[in-house]
Amino acid sequence: MYNVLIIGSGCAGLTAAIYAARANLKPLVLDGHEPGGQLSLTTHVENYPGFPEGIMGPQLIENMRKQAQKFGAEFKAGALTEVDLSKRPFKIIAGKDIYEARALIVAAGASARLLGLKGEKQLIGHGVSTCATCDGYFFRGKPIAVVGGGDSAMEEANFLSRYASKVHLIHRRNDFRASKIMIERARTNEKVAFVTPFAVEEILAPQGHVEGVSVRNQQTKETQEIPVDGVFVAIGHDPNTIVFKGKLEMDSNGYLLAKHGSLTAIPGVFVAGDVQDHRYRQAVTAAGTGCMAALDAEKFLEEHKD
């Protein structure tokens, strides 16, 4: 039986672990299917406070993990397959392993959708990115592509135009899901070129880093190559919340709904990080909400000593 079980070992989960461990709660962290979360998929992080020279994403995560372990947090590999939140202690099942916990912190994160192209995942950090705020700065004066037709793609194209010499906004249809104002902003941005209706068929990286994309016109079926140094995939995120369907309140996109800080409708269940945040999605905001969840869990356990 654990006092606190934390689902997810990204920035939010690890910060919750540091706080819960320092409160002597001996938390258990379940790593999940993407140990370390999205930071472990990125390279240089320059906007996490406290590192004037920047820090590599995987190193930042490793530091947080060590910090949590130092204070007594326990880690187990395994991804959540089932939860029973109908009574306390909560039951958490990860494959063959069954855990019980007096309080639960859900910090399962959200996974950026990828295009599913060959080599795409391996090229993350070598020209492929799913986070403009994290990586835009590395493409100063270089041509890049943004893929997608929603608000994220428009926002990223505009944001990246501050750095890039040219932004090719590639979308598979001539219509966009993005709001009119966001489309208009991108259209009037002279650095942004709309490439529609084109689907990316291949990311060209003969030397192990992105040199271009091959795209196919969805109407004429013609292909062409666009030389770019970076490809920003902005086709949405999926919160890792399938297991919580019908158990915790979520919005229409599957993001968990937090009320009053990290609290949910179920006393003793708290949420933190990107699993409940599609707006900010930053390492530092995830860490902040991880801290909030641990403090809320600590207070809850003090008030419920059963």
**Is 134 one of the annotated active-site residues of the chain?**
yes
Residue type at position 30: L
Residue 217 CB, nearest distance to ligand NAP (Å)? 14
**Interface residue list for ligand NAP (CB under 6 A):** 113, 115, 148-153, 155, 172-173, 177, 235-236, 278
Residue 293 CB, nearest distance to ligand NAP (Å)? 23
- In the bound state with ligand NAP, the residue whose beta carbon lies nearer, of 89 and 239, is 239
**Is 131 one of the annotated active-site residues of the chain?**
yes
Please identify which of the residues 134, 229, 291, 296 carries the catalytic annotation: 134
Q: Which residue is nearest to ligand NAP (CB)?
A: 150
- In the bound state with ligand NAP, the residue whose beta carbon lies nearer, of 119 and 150, is 150
- In the bound state with ligand NAP, the residue whose beta carbon lies nearer, of 97 and 175, is 175
Please identify which of the residues 31, 135, 229, 277 carries the catalytic annotation: 135
Residue 34 CB, nearest distance to ligand NAP (Å)? 18
* CA pair distance 65, 89, nearest whole angstrom: 26
- In the bound state with ligand NAP, the residue whose beta carbon lies nearer, of 164 and 215, is 215
* Catalytic residue numbers, as ranges: 131, 134-135
